[in-house]
A and B are shown apart, each in its own frame.
Chain A
Amino acid sequence: MKMTGAQAIVRSLQEEGVEVVFGYPGGVVLPLFDALYEAEGIRVILTRHEQGATHAADAYARVTGKPGVVIVTSGPGAANTVTGIANAYMDSVPLVVITGQVATHVLGTDAFQETDITGITIPITKHNYLVDDARDIPEVMAEAFHIAGTGRPGPVLIDLPVDISRGEVAFSYPERVNLPGYKPTVKGHAKQIHQAASLIAKARKPLLYAGGGVLSSDGAKELKELAELMQLPVVATLMGKGAFPEDHHLFVGMPGMHGGKYTNYAITETDLLLGIGVRFDDRVTGKLATFATKAKIVHVDVDPAEIGKNRSVDVPIVGDAKSVLAAIVAELRKMGAEPKTDAWMRVIDDWRGRFPFHYHTSESAIMPQQVVERVRELTKGKPTVFTTEVGQNQMWACQYLRITEPRTWVSSGGLGTMGFGLPAAIGAQLGRPDHMVIDIAGDGSIQMNSQELATAAINKLPVKVIILNNGYLGMVRQWQELFYERRYSSSTLPQDCPDFVKLAEAYGCFGIRATTPAELDDALVAAFAHDGPAVVDVRVEREENVFPMVAPGGSIDEMLGGIPGGPVSEMLDEELLEEVWE
Chain B
Amino acid sequence: MKHTLSVLVENKPGVLTRVASLFARRGFNIDSLAVGTTEDPTISRMTIVVSADETALEQITKQLYKLINVLKVQDLDPGDMIDRELVLYKVSALPERRHEIIEIANVFRAKIVDVGRASLTIEATGTGDKLAAMEDLLRAYGIKELARTGKIALARGSRDA
Contacts and interface: CB of A to CB of B under 8 A. Distances in A.
A204 B70 CA distance: 43
B117 interface: no
B68 A123 contact: no
Q: SS class of chain B's interface: helix, strand, loop or mixed?
A: helix
Contacts of B67: 127, 181
A108 interface: no
A112 to B, nearest CB: 23
B66 interface: yes
Contact of A309 (B9, B59, B69): B59
A122 B18 contact: yes
Contacts of A180: 10, 71
Contacts of A147: 68
**B: contact size bracket:** 20 to 34
B21 A130 contact: no
Contacts of A179: 68
Interface string B35-58: 000000000000000000001001
Interface string B103-135: 000000000000000000000000000000000
Given A304-B62, A304-B65, A118 B21 contact: no
A308 B63 contact: no
B72 to A, nearest CB: 9
Contact of B71 (A127, A130, A181, A304): A181
A179 B71 CA distance: 9
Contacts of A308: 55, 58-59
Interface string A172-211: 0000000111100000000000000000000000000000
A138 B13 CA distance: 19
A127 B68 contact: yes
B62 A118 contact: no
A305 interface: yes
B58 A181 contact: no
A336 interface: no
B22 to A, nearest CB: 8
A303 interface: yes
A119 interface: yes
Contacts of A118: 14
A309 B27 CA distance: 14
B159 interface: no
A118 B18 CA distance: 10
Given A179-B68, A181-B69, A181-B71, A305 B62 contact: yes
B158 interface: no
B8 to A, nearest CB: 9
A377 to B, nearest CB: 44
A122 B17 contact: yes
A182 B25 contact: no
A119 B69 contact: no
Contacts of A130: 13-14
Interface of A: 118-119, 122-123, 126-127, 130, 147, 179-182, 303-305, 308-309
Question: 7 smallest A-B Cβ distances: which pairs?
Answer: A305-B62, A127-B68, A181-B71, A182-B68, A304-B62, A181-B70, A123-B25
Given A126-B66, A179-B68, A308-B58, 16 more contacts: A118-B14, A119-B17, A122-B18, A122-B21, A123-B25, A126-B68, A130-B13, A181-B10, A181-B68, A303-B66, A304-B62, A304-B65, A305-B66, A308-B55, A308-B59, A309-B59
Interface of B: 9-10, 13-14, 17-18, 21, 25, 55, 58-59, 62-63, 65-71
19 contacts: A119-B17, A123-B21, A126-B66, A126-B68, A147-B68, A179-B68, A180-B10, A180-B71, A181-B9, A181-B10, A181-B67, A181-B71, A303-B66, A304-B62, A305-B59, A305-B65, A305-B66, A308-B55, A308-B58
